[in-house]
């Protein structure tokens, strides 16, 4: 396996790779992904779930020394852990890397292991997204088992995806149907996850996975009853659904005030301080809005408002972007600030949504210095979808 990083922007390489391998079969796409210089250093990320053995088997045939990243959320079914060990041994995979959340982060944010009940997105960020971010740091690309048939959010998957202009995501099985998966497993005599026979066609963490009834979507058992389809480690139709958790601040330590402002020209001091007011006050000139606020109630009241701050309670919560667009469509011409859990990779999205600036904690500013935000300062240059449509 080569170790030289690829050259050129991720978006351009993704476009070229999809054009080059558009008509290739899954195995050929995977083989080329392991060797094409445009892809770079690559790893397979596997949940060792219901269908994971297909890609694991392909990797074992092509190059069993390929790094395989397994996220142990410490909330998995016991059957998954046993299956993971058995499959890795049977296929002779020589570089399986089991990753977990940092103990300090778990102690600070989920000491009672109940976070999934109050905020499943935060739990996914803590136990999946942040550990995966750390594990993928040395790589230019990663392989997933996602397929178009797995739901609306995956209906337009390509073989190669641009992930936040940081790395490439490879989906060799994007065009496979359920019958293709079954046939491959039968023809290659691959072991099935034991929970599949018990009504679990899609398997995640035990507290958030339930049995699927006949006729239901295969992923209906994931986060049942919640408005949630992804675990938080993917971009879906250009929307960020993966982001690191908050810092490892001990619970008894007060979170620092949000007073670092990010603009196109760098970090600045907060010129508003605590001057923001509730949207219920009739003459307020600086409004604080929660992500679920009813912006229609502000219709006709925006003329005297000079700045609106919208809260982002979690990195994976994109409601603030939609709210900003609605406010701009309503005619609001003042300043808009995205405040809270926003990272550098989201800056271009925030600017295109109508935000003028971002407010973050000093801690986040230390972990993501201005150089990282500067890479997104020319946010129009990162409107890849617009460029593809000829709009930018």
Per-residue pLDDT of 112-140, as tens digits, reads 898 888 888 788 888 988 898 889 999 99
Q: CA of 199: how far to CAs of 174, 212, 215, 221, in Å?
A: 24, 6, 12, 9
Mean pLDDT (the chain) is: 83
Write out the two tokens for 295. 């912006």
pLDDT at 318 over 50: yes
The reply to whether 10-240 and 260-388 are identical in fold is no
Contacts of residue 68, defined as CB under 8 A and 6 or more positions apart, other chains included, come to 43, 44, 45, 46, 56, 59, 88, 93, 95, 96, 97
CATH superfamily for 10-240 is HUPs (3.40.50.620)
Domain ranges for the chain: 10-240, 260-388
The predicted pLDDT at position 381 comes to 65
Q: How confident is the model at residue 40 (pLDDT cuts 50, 70, 90)?
A: very high
State pLDDT tens for residues 59-77. Answer: 999 999 999 999 999 999 9
pLDDT at 156 over 80: no
**Catalytic option among 123, 124, 205, 231:** 231
Distance CA 179, CA 198 (A): 19
State pLDDT tens for residues 217-230. Answer: 777 877 776 655 55
DSSP codes of every residue in 5-51:
PP-S-HHHHHHHHHHHHTT--HHHHHHHHTT-TTT-SEEEE----SS
231 catalytic? Reply is yes
pLDDT at 183 over 90: yes
Contacts of residue 232, defined as CB under 8 A and 6 or more positions apart, other chains included, come to 121, 124, 125, 128, 129, 241, 242, 243, 316
Q: Does domain 260-388 have CATH number 3.20.20.70?
A: yes
Q: Is the whole-model pTM more than 0.75?
A: no
Highest mean pLDDT out of 24-38, 123-137, 141-155, 346-360: 24-38
State pLDDT tens for residues 136-147. Answer: 999 999 999 888
The predicted pLDDT at position 382 comes to 56
């Amino acid at each position: 396996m080569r170790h030289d990083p690829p050259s050129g922007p991720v978006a351009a390489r993704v476009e070229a790779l999809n054009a080059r391998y558009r008509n290739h079969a899954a195995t050929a796409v995977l083989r080329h992904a392991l060797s094409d210089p445009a892809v770079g250093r690559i790893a397979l990320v596997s949940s060792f779930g219901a269908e994971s053995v297909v890609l694991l088997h392909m990797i074992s045939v092509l190059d069993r020394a390929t790094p395989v990243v397994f996220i142990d959320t410490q909330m998995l079914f016991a059957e998954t852990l046993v299956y993971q060990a058995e499959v890795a041994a049977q296929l002779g995979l020589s570089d399986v890397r089991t990753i977990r959340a940092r103990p300090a982060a778990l102690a600070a944010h989920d000491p009672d292991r109940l976070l999934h009940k109050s905020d499943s997105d935060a739990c996914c960020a803590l136990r999946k997204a942040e550990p995966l971010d750390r594990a993928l740091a040395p790589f230019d690309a990663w392989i997933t088992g996602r397929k178009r048939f797995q739901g609306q959010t995956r209906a337009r998957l390509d073989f190669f995806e641009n992930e936040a202009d940081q790395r490439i995501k490879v989906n060799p099985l994007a065009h496979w149907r359920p019958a293709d998966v079954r046939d491959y497993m039968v023809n290659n005599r691959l072991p099935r996850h034991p929970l599949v026979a018990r009504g679990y066609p899609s398997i995640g963490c035990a507290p958030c996975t339930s049995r699927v009834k006949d006729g239901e979507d295969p992923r209906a058992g994931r986060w049942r009853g919640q408005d949630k389809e992804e675990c938080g480690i993917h971009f879906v139709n250009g929307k960020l659904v993966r982001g690191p958790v908050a810092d490892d601040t001990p619970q008894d330590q007060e979170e620092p005030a949000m007073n670092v402002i990010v603009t196109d020209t760098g970090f600045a001091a907060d010129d508003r301080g605590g001057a923001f007011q509730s949207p219920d006050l009739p003459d307020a000139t600086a409004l604080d809005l929660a992500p679920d606020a009813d912006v229609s109630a502000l219709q006709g009241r925006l003329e005297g408002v000079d700045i609106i701050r919208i809260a982002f309670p979690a990195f994976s919560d994109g409601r603030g972007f939609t709210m900003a667009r609605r406010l701009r469509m309503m005619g609001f011409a003042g300043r808009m600030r995205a405040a809270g859990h926003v990272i550098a990779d989201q800056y271009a999205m925030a600017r295109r949504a109508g935000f003028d600036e971002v407010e973050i904690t000093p801690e986040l500013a230390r972990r993501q210095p201005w150089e990282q935000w500067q890479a997104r300062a020319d946010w129009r240059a990162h409107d890849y979808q617009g460029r593809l449509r000829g709009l930018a």
